[in-house]
Structure 1
Amino acid sequence: MAHKYLVLAERTPKFDASVIEPHRGFLRELLAQGQLQESGGFTDGTGGAYVVLAESLTAAITLVHSDPLHTTGASDLTIYEWEITVSA
């Protein structure tokens, strides 16, 4: 059974806009594989968040650490297992 993981991405001083398209490609691939539920940027431009589906926290970390935002050091990614209690 897959669990939901909330990923918060906060830009670092190493952030370069050239990482945005590879990051979006990463998210498109997750979506095509059924591992991405939703994603979006913060309106203040400091980063964004996305929700991935994975079997365990270890699997979610492995997955998220392949995001170009992480591999380039452009953003700090924090991963939380997210138990949804109310949803529309």
Structure 2
Amino acid sequence: MVMRAPNFDQSVVEPHRAFLQELLAKGQLQESGRFTDGTGGAYVVLAESLDAATAVAHSDPLHTTGASELTIYEWEITVSA
């Protein structure tokens, strides 16, 4: 989950989108989207471990620029379409 920091700068959005497209091309992104209230968004990373997912998320421009605060959860899927 990504929540905008008080110093959020709109200029980081395009690098973030490029980052997500790169993950998608590598088969590491399941889905992503923004929260309708504009406070942030979330994306699902496909990784071998929580540590691997954390490393991926920490390379997101939203994180590296300090524009957003990340909260990373390991998710166990119990029901799927």
TM over 0.5: yes
Structure 2 residue runs without a partner (length 5+): none
RMSD between superposed Cα atoms in Å:
0.7
For residues 11-50 of structure 1, what are the structure 2 equivalents within 5 Å? 11-50=4-43
Question: When the two structures are superposed, what TM-score results if normalisation uses the length of structure 1?
Answer: 0.89
Per-residue CA deviations over 1:49-84 (Å, capped at 9, x if unaligned) read: 000011111111111100000001111011101011
Distance 1:23 1:34 in 2: 17
Runs of 4+ in structure 1 deviating by more than 6 angstroms, as ranges, are: none
Deviations 1:7-36 (A, max 9, x none): x00000110000000000000000000000
Report how many aligned residue pairs link the two structures: 81
Report the alpha carbon displacement of residue 86 of structure 1 after superposing the two structures with TM.
1.9
Structure 1, residues 32-54: CA drift from partner, whole Å, max 9, x if none? Answer: 00000000000000000000011
List alignment gaps of at least 5 residues for structure 1.
Answer: 1-7
Report the 3-state secondary structure (helix = DSSP H, G, I; strand = E; otherwise coil) of the residue aligned with 1:54: coil
TM-score normalized by the length of structure 2 = 0.96
1:78 aligns with 2:74: no
Aligned identity (percent) is 79
